[in-house]
């Protein structure tokens, strides 16, 4: 496999995107086999397969924050194509499945991601979430790679989006972070937040106190923060500088009158129309509300509930996360502002994080190959 350095528009080194140069695993550098002697057609290159361990070894929280920030910039500048997400509920198993995808202009791949959440899995000794990503050659449409990440890339890119939101909307020196939820995403949010802000103290709430205690111990050891479990959502949220919600709740958890002046809220869990973590008064009270993708948030997110309740209008939303990144709209403009980022998850995040994982894996010659083949005929 030959690796070629290539600058991508809207991404690092593209001349108009933040960050350092992106090493692209360019399609034209991939191995295209000699023509078939019978059909005259060239066979596509083998499909690269990466497992979860290989992917974890090449993607860090800092990597994820950087490439996700660049992906939102590309989206804001019109340098991305993406369909609306698909959602499938499997109520008999208390499960849900999400399908998202995108292509970033100039990128070597278009990517589709399947991510699932099955809430009874812990009873079976299994993690709640799983999934995989598929990358296709952006010049031929043929499969290029299968990333068997078991949901890791979705988790890390979601945490990265929270950090990007906090970079522009949270105060520069937050004393206390409240995390509502104590699963894997709670950990990814804190890891990513530590990339853009110095963390001092964290309060973590879960419906299951032992989970909050375990999360607090792990984050204390890993990040060097003073982390502790909170007895209630209110106890976690009051006087917090940053509030992060990462639950699948169908009932609002966070109330407006618990928020101190200057609080930033990153709402992550409301990725379906029936999910809600914030009382609508939170958005009504906020000085600035930002969506990751407004068209999605009007259908799925916390913004959707506030608009439906009549306490927020579409035009009250300041803009999208990418608008903050490229400077089209300001972020926090005073220490007293209450800010909300409504994050429903956008396909550009998946396209960017998958491309980065593939580039790093290719540079290290990781993974194995699965031979493909073109069908006979035109």
Could you say which DSSP state residue 15 is in?
A: S
Distance CA 166, CA 177 (A): 11
Q: Label residues 140-178 b or e (16+ Cβ within 10 Å = b).
A: eebbbbbbbbbbbbbbbbbbbbbbbbbbbbbbeebebbb
Q: What distances in angstroms separate CA 325 from CA 22, 204, 288, one per listed residue?
A: 18, 29, 15
For residue 178, list its beta bridge partners.
Answer: 203, 243
Distance CA 180, CA 212 (A): 9
Residue spans of alpha helices (H) in 150-197: 152-169, 184-196
Instruction: Give the 3-state secondary structure of residue 338.
Output: coil
Half-sphere exposure of 296 (CA within 13 A, CB side): 23
Catalytic residue among 113, 124, 167, 275: 113
Sequence-ordered list of residues with C-beta below 8 angstroms from that of 93, at least 6 positions apart, any chain: 118, 120
Give the strands of the sheet with 264-267, arranged side by side: 226-229, 201-205, 176-180, 242-245, 264-267, 339-342, 288-291, 319-320
Residue 52 in tokens: 């979860």
Q: Is 77 a catalytic residue?
A: no
Could you say which DSSP state residue 374 is in?
A: P
Cα pseudo-dihedral 63, 69, 73, 76, rounded to 10: 140
Which residues carry out catalysis?
Answer: 113
């Amino acid at each position: 496999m030959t690796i070629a350095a290539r600058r991508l528009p809207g991404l690092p080194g593209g001349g108009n995107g933040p960050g350092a140069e992106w090493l692209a695993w360019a399609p034209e550098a991939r191995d295209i086999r000699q023509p078939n002697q019978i059909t005259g057609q060239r066979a596509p290159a083998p499909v690269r397969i990466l497992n979860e361990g290989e992917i974890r070894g090449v993607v860090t929280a800092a990597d994820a924050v950087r490439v996700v920030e660049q992906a939102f910039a590309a989206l804001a500048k019109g340098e991305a194509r993406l369909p609306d997400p698909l959602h499938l509920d499997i109520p008999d198993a208390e499960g849900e499945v999400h399908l998202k995808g995108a292509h970033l202009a100039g990128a070597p791949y278009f990517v589709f991601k399947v991510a699932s959440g099955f809430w009874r899995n812990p009873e079976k000794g299994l993690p709640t979430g799983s999934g995989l990503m598929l990358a296709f050659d952006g010049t031929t449409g043929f499969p290029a790679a299968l990333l068997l990440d078991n949901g890791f890339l979705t988790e890390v890119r979601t945490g990265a989006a929270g950090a990007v939101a906090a970079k522009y909307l949270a105060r520069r020196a937050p004393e206390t972070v409240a995390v509502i939820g104590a699963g894997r995403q709670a950990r990814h949010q804190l890891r990513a937040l530590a990339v853009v802000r110095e963390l001092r103290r964290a309060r973590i709430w879960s419906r299951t106190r032992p989970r909050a205690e375990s999360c607090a111990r792990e984050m204390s050891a890993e990040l060097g923060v003073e982390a502790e479990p909170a007895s209630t959502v209110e106890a976690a949220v009051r006087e917090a500088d940053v509030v992060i919600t990462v639950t699948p709740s169908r009932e609002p958890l966070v109330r407006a009158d618990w928020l101190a002046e200057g609080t930033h809220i990153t709402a992550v869990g409301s990725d379906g129309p029936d999910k809600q973590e914030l009382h609508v008064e939170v958005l009504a009270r906020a000085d600035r509300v930002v969506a990751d993708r407004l068209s999605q948030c009007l259908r799925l997110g916390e913004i959707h509930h506030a608009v439906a309740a009549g306490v927020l209008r579409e035009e009250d939303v300041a803009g999208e996360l990418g608008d903050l990144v490229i400077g089209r709209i300001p972020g926090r403009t005073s220490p007293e502002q209450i800010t909300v980022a409504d994050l429903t998850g956008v396909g550009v995040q998946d396209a960017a994080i998958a491309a980065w994982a593939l580039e790093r894996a290719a540079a290290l010659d990781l993974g194995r190959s699965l031979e493909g083949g073109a069908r006979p005929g035109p």
